[in-house]
């Protein structure tokens, strides 16, 4: 088991590095000059050159790359060009929000997906099954941002159950936190929950036909145990896979949701930083997101290994 996890852990490195190198190159090779943008239209050529020198932007690319690599290894990602603050201090302010949002959205998606999928599979071809399947198709076709606006309109503006925008961190209390995270998480997760519903349904239908389920019933075990433990254990595997993919999708989709709900998250910060050509901050943001994704996938791998002992020995 440890060897398996160890191997998986080593895979984190390429997962993080490839996007990082791509971002490094893309930023440097795209048009636009951060120094010029920061100083504005009135800046003189000398001022721009001085700032560029100060920021190390006049060095050849491969020198910049080596300096940047050195920075990664020493965990010094440099200072944000715009904020004039170390990147390592800026990121945590925003990262927490995005991680929270993604986690809650994932949890909601899994909870809804598994429940609906199970209900559907157990009542195959009955009205409730058809209802769930139809709803799932609608859910998959739904753009998250549109759904977000709809949610705001119904629940925040009309019913006033939730605030329209803003963010309360968990430290502000469970209720306060929940009130600001629920709608965004729902908006972000709804599409993924529809996917998971469909996956759970088909997976469960397959599993229910397997001989080991018949054996479990033939042992006289209660149906709740047969479904809840024997069937779920194998049926859950594909859902876990989808959850891993969903997490990645949601991390990316968080941007739109953060903007709509005015959440101070990484996605929003990243979009603005790209616009400003704030290289260090962009790189820091991408690194963080890659890291979060890699850790999440490691967790998924761990869940696999717990659910299926055959995987541990590979």
Partner 1 sequence: MTAHPTPLPADRAAPVSQARTVLEVENLSLSLRNADGLLPIVTDVSFSIRQGEAVALVGESGCGKSITASAIMGIAPENAVIDGTITLNGKVISGLSAHERRRLCGRHMGFIFQEPMTALHPTLSIGRQMTDTLRHNLGLGHAEATNRAAELLDRVGIPRARDILKGYVHELSGGMRQRVMIALAISCGPSLIIADEPTTALDVTIQAQVLDLLEDMRRELNLAMLFITHDLEVVGDFCEKAVVMYAGDVVERGRSADIVGAPTHPYARGLIDAVPAHDDGRTRLTPILGTVPPVGQWPEGCRFAPRCLRADSKCQTRPALERHGQTDARCWHPLEGN
Contact 271, 286 (CB under 8 A): no
What SS3 class is residue 195?
Answer: helix
Binding site for partner 1 (CB under 8 A): 210-212, 214-223, 225, 229-230, 233-234, 307-310
Rounded to a whole number of angstroms, the minimum distance from the CB of residue 58 to partner 1 is: 59
Rounded to a whole number of angstroms, the minimum distance from the CB of residue 299 to partner 1 is: 19
Rounded to a whole number of angstroms, the minimum distance from the CB of residue 109 to partner 1 is: 24
Q: Which is nearer to partner 1, 206 or 272 (CB)?
A: 206
Rounded to a whole number of angstroms, the minimum distance from the CB of residue 237 to partner 1 is: 9
Residue 79: phi and psi, rounded to 5, are -105, 145
Contact 21, 62 (CB under 8 A): no
Q: Which is nearer to partner 1, 238 or 248 (CB)?
A: 238
Q: Which is nearer to partner 1, 97 or 236 (CB)?
A: 236
End-to-end alpha carbon distance in the chain: 9
Cα–Cα distances (Å) from 132 to 109, 128, 140, in that order, read 15, 6, 12
Rounded to a whole number of angstroms, the minimum distance from the CB of residue 304 to partner 1 is: 10
Q: Which is nearer to partner 1, 232 or 266 (CB)?
A: 232
CA atoms within 13 A on the CB side of 255: 15
Cα–Cα distances (Å) from 211 to 77, 91, 237, 259, in that order, read 56, 52, 18, 50
Contact 287, 20 (CB under 8 A): yes
CA atoms within 13 A on the CB side of 58: 9
Q: Which is nearer to partner 1, 76 or 219 (CB)?
A: 219
Structure tokens at 232: 């779920």
Q: Which is nearer to partner 1, 195 or 216 (CB)?
A: 216
Rounded to a whole number of angstroms, the minimum distance from the CB of residue 176 to partner 1 is: 41
DSSP secondary structure code for residue 209 in this structure: T
């Amino acid at each position: 088991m440890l060897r398996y996890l160890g191997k998986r852990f080593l895979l984190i490195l390429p997962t993080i590095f490839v996007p990082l190198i791509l971002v490094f190159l893309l930023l440097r090779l795209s048009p636009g000059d951060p120094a010029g943008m920061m100083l504005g239209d009135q800046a003189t050529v000398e001022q721009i050159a001085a700032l560029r020198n100060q920021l190390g932007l006049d060095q050849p690319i491969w020198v910049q790359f080596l300096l940047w690599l050195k920075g990664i290894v020493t965990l010094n990602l440099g200072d944000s060009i715009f904020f004039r603050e170390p990147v390592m201090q800026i990121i945590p302010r925003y990262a927490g929000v995005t991680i929270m949002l993604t986690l809650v959205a994932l949890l909601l998606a899994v909870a809804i997906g598994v429940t609906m999928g199970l209900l559907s599979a157990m009542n195959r071809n009955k009205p409730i099954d058809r209802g769930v399947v139809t709803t799932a198709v609608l859910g998959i076709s739904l753009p998250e941002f549109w759904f977000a606006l709809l949610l705001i309109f119904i629940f925040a503006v009309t019913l006033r159950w939730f605030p329209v925008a803003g963010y309360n961190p968990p430290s502000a209390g469970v209720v306060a936190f929940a009130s600001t995270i629920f709608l965004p998480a729902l908006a972000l997760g709804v599409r993924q929950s529809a996917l998971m519903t469909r996956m759970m349904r088909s997976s469960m239908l397959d599993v229910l036909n397997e001989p080991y389920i018949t054996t479990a019933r033939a042992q006289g075990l209660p149906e709740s145990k047969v479904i809840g433990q024997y069937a779920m254990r194998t049926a859950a595997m594909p859902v876990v896979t989808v959850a891993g993919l969903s997490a990645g999708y949601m991390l990316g989709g968080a941007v739109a949701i953060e903007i709509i709900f005015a959440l101070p998250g990484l996605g929003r910060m990243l979009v603005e930083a790209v616009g400003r050509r704030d290289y260090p901050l962009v790189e820091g943001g991408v690194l963080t997101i890659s890291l979060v994704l890699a850790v999440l996938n490691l967790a998924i791998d761990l869940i696999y290994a717990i659910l299926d002992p055959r995987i541990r020995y590979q």
